[in-house]
Amino acid sequence: MEIDELLKLMVRTGISDIHFKAGSPPIIRLNGKLITTNYEKITKETIENIAYKMMNEEQRKIFEEEYELDFAYSVKDLARFRVNVYKQKGSIALSLRVVPLEIKSFKELNLPEEVLVKLCKEPRGLILIAGVTGAGKTTTLNAMLNYINENFEYNIITIEDPIEFYHTDKKSSISQREIGSDTKSFKNALKYVLRQDPDVVVIGEMRDFESISAGITAAETGHLVLATIHTIDAVQTIDRIIDAYPQHQQRQARIQLANVLKGIVAQRLCNCIDGKSRIPATEVLIGTPFVRKLILENKTQELYKAMESGGYYLMHTFDQSLLELYNKGLISFEEAIDKSSNPEDLQLKLRGISQTKGEML
């Protein structure tokens, strides 16, 4: 099996992910759906050959010690791929995700342009992109980074595992640091990043106490910090950050977070009604004085109402976003309900729209 040829086919047909494991044919994800292909079952030896061909010597060494590894793999003039190699049932397995070479604009990605531009213009503070695996967090983060690069004269330092999108200097100077290649660990990179004179610090993923606390500290000291975080919505993001701290530090963590938070943009990818593409539903929380007060007072559940009524500040909930996508004819009733945070409430609103449309015909 020639891996590069298979990856070319993957890009041409719009496949987002491909999985290899011994004893099964390649399994793909297309428009969010997992599909088993008609290829022959892959042998243990074939997967091992593919994996070791994609890794360099240093990566092979790390994999043999850790039994799992994230890295990026490029096919010239085609795309980059985020690769995770791991072991299951004693044999090597691979998961690959397509990372396009081109960094698209907010408008091209169907993202809420006005609020993202507003956040990119913040001179300091913490901005988080939230979502589950495969929600497009990294794509949005890099679109924001590209906007900053094109419009501001900043020194930007990124810490990524792995680097997915390559950036070149435009108005800004960008240094992209990859875990394993350019720095030994997130901990090391975060320890020294503030000595590198950054205006903007980009953390590929806030995944633990160390990265969360380092990001907040960087924002407190006058830097703009952008990061992704693996959560389902804006409110859970607040709780996840606070819960990362030991119990005795959580009150102080609330104060710190309330002081530095500029905004959280959460997203979920929805299948479009055409059956061929996907579009993000979004949720936006802005660090207004009222939002900061709710964070300080540990009233995070009240943040939903703040977002719902915060249109003046460009805030909105997932359900408001889904309602808009449905109203525009971009997603189906079923898809809106499936992606909703409050499906029963949204169902009532959607049925009201459907009834109104029927009366107008």
First to last CA, the chain: 55
Mean pLDDT of 296-302: 96
In degrees, to the nearest 5, what angle opens at C-alpha 186 toward C-alphas 190 and 265?
80
Mean pLDDT of 282-305: 98
Report the distance separating Cα 19 and Cα 84, nearest Å: 10
Report the distance separating Cα 160 and Cα 311, nearest Å: 33
Question: Rounded to an integer, what is the distance from CA 253 to the centroid of its chain?
Answer: 23
> Per-residue confidence at 351, pLDDT binned at 50, 70, 90?
confident
46, two tokens? 């074939």
- What count of residues does the chain have? 361
Q: What is the pLDDT of residue 359?
A: 47
| Alpha-carbon torsion (79, 84, 85, 87), positive or negative | negative
Residues of CATH 3.30.450.90 domain(s) within the chain? 3-100
At residue 332, what is the residue type? S
Report the distance separating Cα 349 and Cα 353, nearest Å: 6
Which DSSP helix (H) or strand (E) runs through 48? helix 44-54
Instruction: Tell me the CATH architecture of domain 3-100.
Output: 2-Layer Sandwich (3.30)
- Tens of pLDDT, residues 50-75: 999 999 999 999 999 999 999 999 88
Counting residues of the chain whose pLDDT is more than 70, the rounded percentage is: 97
CATH of domain 113-316: 3.40.50.300
- Tens of pLDDT, residues 183-196: 988 889 998 999 99
Which DSSP helix (H) or strand (E) runs through 8? helix 3-12
- Whose CA is closest to 329, among 284, 262, 270, 273? 273
52, two tokens? 């070791």
pTM: predicted TM-score of the whole model, two decimal places: 0.89
Q: What is the pLDDT of residue 361?
A: 38
Output the average pLDDT for the chain.
94
Mean pLDDT of 273-288: 96
> Per-residue confidence at 360, pLDDT binned at 50, 70, 90?
very low
> Per-residue confidence at 355, pLDDT binned at 50, 70, 90?
very low
Mean pLDDT of 228-252: 98
Residues of CATH 3.40.50.300 domain(s) within the chain? 113-316
Has residue 227 got a pLDDT over 70?
Answer: yes
R_g of the chain computed on alpha carbons: 21
> Per-residue confidence at 276, pLDDT binned at 50, 70, 90?
confident
Question: Rounded to an integer, what is the distance from CA 3 to the centroid of its chain?
Answer: 26
> Per-residue confidence at 275, pLDDT binned at 50, 70, 90?
confident
Other Cβ atoms less than 10 A from the Cβ of 206: the count is 27
Has residue 358 got a pLDDT over 90?
Answer: no
Counting residues of the chain whose pLDDT is more than 90, the rounded percentage is: 85
